Amino acid sequence: MSKLGAVAFGFGVALASLSLPAYACSPRQTVELFEVDWDVPDLRTDVIPAPTIGKIEFTRGTQSAGSSCADMGAVSIMVSLPETFQTKIGDIGVAFLAVKGEDTYEYFQGIPLVPFEGEEAYEIEVFLPWLDGAPHEQHVIDLEVEAFFVTREGAEGPRTRFSLYSKPHAP
């Protein structure tokens, strides 16, 4: 298994583990992994735009693990591309790569994502949940992240850098 395949597998396991019955919480799923065929040459002639990062919202846990959804943390990131671009998100994927800081939950490893269940849009919400626990169990999230679009053939577009910062939930 390639390094990217191993990371993608780990990402999938992390998403799936959050819906285990033991936690009695099923967070909404807005994205799934984007399939890239690295063996096919990229024949696109259009220029892939840089993503626009919109509203970013954090939710942090309020109770210890095993407390239904009260132990869940999440970040919601709105990502869009120009409506004049001929391709929608779904035909191309969006990837996030942490370039500064500790990616504790390993969500920002450059794995391309698309809207869940094959929907296509010019703007999507990327909702990434994790088991956060009570405030005294939480980590500060302080990252510089680059977002970029990826074609099915693996071509990457220009990157947009943004910051993610969240302190533990205040009681």
In the chain, the number of structural domains is 1
**For the domain that residue 152 is a member of, what is the CATH number?**
2.60.40.10
**DSSP string over 37-94:** -TTS-----SPPPPPEEEEEEEE---S-TTSGGGGEEEEEEEEE--TTSSS-BTTBEE
- Taking residues 24-50, report their average pLDDT: 80
**pLDDT at position 159 over 90:** yes
pTM of the predicted model over 0.85: no
**Residue 110: domain span:** 3-166
Contact 35, 42 (CB under 8 A): no
User: Residue 171 falls within a domain, yes or no?
Assistant: no
Digit-coded pLDDT (tens) for 122-135? 999 999 998 888 88
**Cα 44 to Cα 47: distance, rounded to the nearest angstrom:** 8
User: Residue 89 falls within a domain, yes or no?
Assistant: yes
Digit-coded pLDDT (tens) for 65-106? 766 788 889 999 999 999 889 889 999 999 999 999 999 888
